Amino acid sequence: MKHVLSIAGTDPSGGAGAAADCKTFCAHGCFALNVITAVVSQNTQGVRGYMDVTPDLIADQIDAVFEDIDVDAVKIGMVSVPETIRVIADKLRQYQPRFVVIDPVMVATSGHRLLVPEAEQTLKEVLLPLADVLTPNIPEAEVLTGKTIENLSDMEDAAKAISAMGARAVLVKGGHRVEDATDILFDGQELHYFKGKRVDSTSTHGTGCSLSSAIASDLANGMSLADAVAEAKQYVYEGIAHAEPIGKGHGPIHHFYELYKKAGLQ
Ligand SMILES: Nc1ncnc2c1ncn2[C@@H]1O[C@H](COP(=O)(O)OP(=O)(O)O)[C@@H](O)[C@H]1O
Ligand SMILES: Cc1ncc(COP(=O)(O)OP(=O)(O)O)c(N)n1
């Protein structure tokens, strides 16, 4: 069994952050490890506030994992402040995990910032070049490139521009598109399209967390990058389509749909 590490913030309502990451790793047959960067009070209705974990404690958590367990892939989510970004980057350089998937989380769907504006440049300069795969959504890709994205051609340009900043591969996610949910991957050489229908649903809390965690799990399990993205997209699609109505706002996706189906459960 492969061991996949999430470095992310929390969600006590279980839809996003470390909870979504660990459920996704388990649903992909991986052993889930997790380091917490920030304790967040949030639920399906939005983010209320958060407290950052100190850089020393983040470093200590990462050391505790890597000194004890072989890590096959790392997924990074909420990193909130420059000090958090720097300590994670130092530890990635120290331990050199085989696959690093970074979801450059900036603002939750509810509108609450999860990355302070002063940290955007540090994310770009210090963490982005360590990504094997970076998975910005459209607003995040706009911040990284400084350009507006209105169509698929703009998404292609953004993926290439962000790749030129140092990320080995870039997946610009289309969940914020109106027409459909097409995602575009630039692997450093070629563009790949992942076409997808939009599901008309409010159960989309944590889709970005789950997608990047599924990609990290698939890479750890030996899939090629294009196959990993295709599987991860399908996983999120099924998760939205078969979600249980949990909470009063944007609910979580279903993480175990395939497993339930195989077991003959709903
Ligand atoms: N309503 C939806 N129907 C189908 N796929 C969706 C929907 N919303 C998001 N996705 C997919 O979920 C993944 C996460 O996308 P996105 O919502 O853009 O990221 P984030 O959660 O970081 O904002 C992408 O693969 C995207 O295409
Ligand atoms: C702790 C934490 N990390 C990330 C997010 C954002 O999750 P994401 O999957 O990008 O999408 P939404 O949950 O905002 O729809 C979060 N909320 N909390």
The bound ligand whose nearest atom lies closest to the alpha carbon of 173 is: 1
* Token pair recorded at residue 113: 């910032």
Out of 204, 229, 250, mutate this one to test ligand 1's pocket (max ligand atoms within 8 Å of CB): namely: 204
253 or 265, which is more confident = 253
- The reply to whether 173 belongs to the active site is yes
Provide the Cα torsion 24, 30, 35, 38; round to 10°: 0
* Token pair recorded at residue 1: 């069994």
- Which of ligand 2's atoms lies nearest the C-alpha of 11? 1
pLDDT at residue 39, rounded to an integer? 98
Q: Is the CB of 107 under 6 A from ligand 1?
A: no
* Residue 249 near residue 203 (C-beta atoms within 8 A): no
Q: How much is the pTM?
A: 0.98
Segment 221-262, tens digit of pLDDT:
999 999 999 999 999 999 999 999 999 999 999 999 888 888
Segment 54-86, tens digit of pLDDT:
999 999 999 999 999 999 999 999 999 999 999
Residue 174 neighbours by CB distance under 10 Å: 24
CA of 206 to the centre of ligand 2 (A): 5
pLDDT at residue 190, rounded to an integer? 98
Between β-strands 191-194 and 183-186, what pairing exists: parallel, antiparallel or unpaired? antiparallel
> Whole-angstrom distance between the N-terminal and C-terminal Cα of the chain?
27
pLDDT at residue 257, rounded to an integer? 87
Segment 117-169, tens digit of pLDDT:
999 999 999 999 999 999 999 999 999 999 999 999 999 999 999 999 999 99
Rg (CA), the chain: 17
111 or 266, which is more confident = 111
Of 40, 38, 52, which is closest to residue 8 (Cα–Cα)?
A: 38
The CATH superfamily assigned to 3-254 is: Ribokinase (3.40.1190.20)
CA of 20 to the centre of ligand 2 (A): 9
Q: What is the mean pLDDT of residues 97-119?
A: 96
Residue having the nearest C-alpha atom to atom 10 of ligand 2: 208
Residue 4 neighbours by CB distance under 10 Å: 31
**pLDDT classification of 38: cutoffs 50, 70, 90:** very high
- The reply to whether 175 belongs to the active site is no
Kindly list the domain boundaries of the chain, sorted by start residue: 3-254
Segment holding 4, helix H or strand E: strand 3-9
- The reply to whether 49 belongs to the active site is no
* Token pair recorded at residue 186: 């630039």
* Token pair recorded at residue 229: 């993205």
126: amino acid identity, one letter: V
Q: Which residues contact 164 (CB under 8 A, 6 or more apart)?
A: none
- Which of ligand 1's atoms lies nearest the C-alpha of 173? 18
Q: Spot the catalytic one: 14, 17, 208, 239.
A: 208
- The reply to whether 9 belongs to the active site is no
Q: Is the CB of 207 under 6 A from ligand 2?
A: yes
**pLDDT classification of 28: cutoffs 50, 70, 90:** very high
Of 47, 9, 43, 45, which is closest to residue 209 (Cα–Cα)?
A: 9
Residue having the nearest C-alpha atom to atom 6 of ligand 2: 108
pLDDT at residue 266, rounded to an integer? 63
113: amino acid identity, one letter: R
pLDDT at residue 139, rounded to an integer? 97
ipTM above 0.90, yes or no: yes
**pLDDT classification of 12: cutoffs 50, 70, 90:** very high
Segment 164-196, tens digit of pLDDT:
999 999 999 999 999 999 999 999 999 999 999
Q: Is the CB of 37 under 6 A from ligand 2?
A: no
Q: Torsions phi, psi of 221, nearest 5?
A: -80, 0
* Token pair recorded at residue 180: 């459909």
* Residue 238 near residue 209 (C-beta atoms within 8 A): no
- The reply to whether 109 belongs to the active site is no
Question: Which residue's entry shows tokens 């990284």?
Answer: 144
The bound ligand whose nearest atom lies closest to the alpha carbon of 239 is: 1
Q: Which residues contact 152 (CB under 8 A, 6 or more apart)?
A: 182, 184, 193
259 or 43, which is more confident = 43
pLDDT at residue 259, rounded to an integer? 86
- Which of ligand 1's atoms lies nearest the C-alpha of 177? 18
Percent of the chain as helix, strand, coil, to the nearest 5: 40, 20, 40
Q: Is the CB of 86 under 6 A from ligand 1?
A: no
**On the CB side of 81, how many CA atoms lie within 13 Å of its CA?**
11
Residue having the nearest C-alpha atom to atom 4 of ligand 2: 17
- The reply to whether 44 belongs to the active site is no
